[in-house]
Chain A
């Protein structure tokens, strides 16, 4: 079983719809992240969380929100999806103080 699990793996949604991407991890890490990957660009940070009560915006948080339901669960929401949010989204987790960051398998989101 994967250490970082994302659902759904693929989703097509319409402009203006709300969509939630869910993530759970079994590594026992406190730190969790949501990244977006677009062709030709490196991974860009949307939100990160150091623990259940600590949630922070990343470099591209506009149009997104997150919820840290538990140490192992971190979900990403698009309140009103728009086409330029079409991308591959990754959830990740890492040890405190940095160190290796582990990624999920990704969620392909297409907004039409």
Chain B
């Protein structure tokens, strides 16, 4: 099983700030990594797939990058609705998720 480790566990930022979330895989996942946002009481929502492709309807302030074992989700200017928990997920082998990074209002 591929283990995904996300950092930091919590990110405290102000609206308008820049968020940088990291995801490290225990082995190479090639390009097959995605990012999801989850808010309390809601299902995960796909933001990014295959490293750097925004899902339908996702604003341009969300961007993904990386390769191999190291990946990054960047939110360029945080909006109030962006606060929540973010998960990375690999799909090169049996799908697994990271443990999540909580983005909270500072």
Question: Do A and B come from the same complex?
Answer: no
A interface list, Cβ under 8 A from B: none
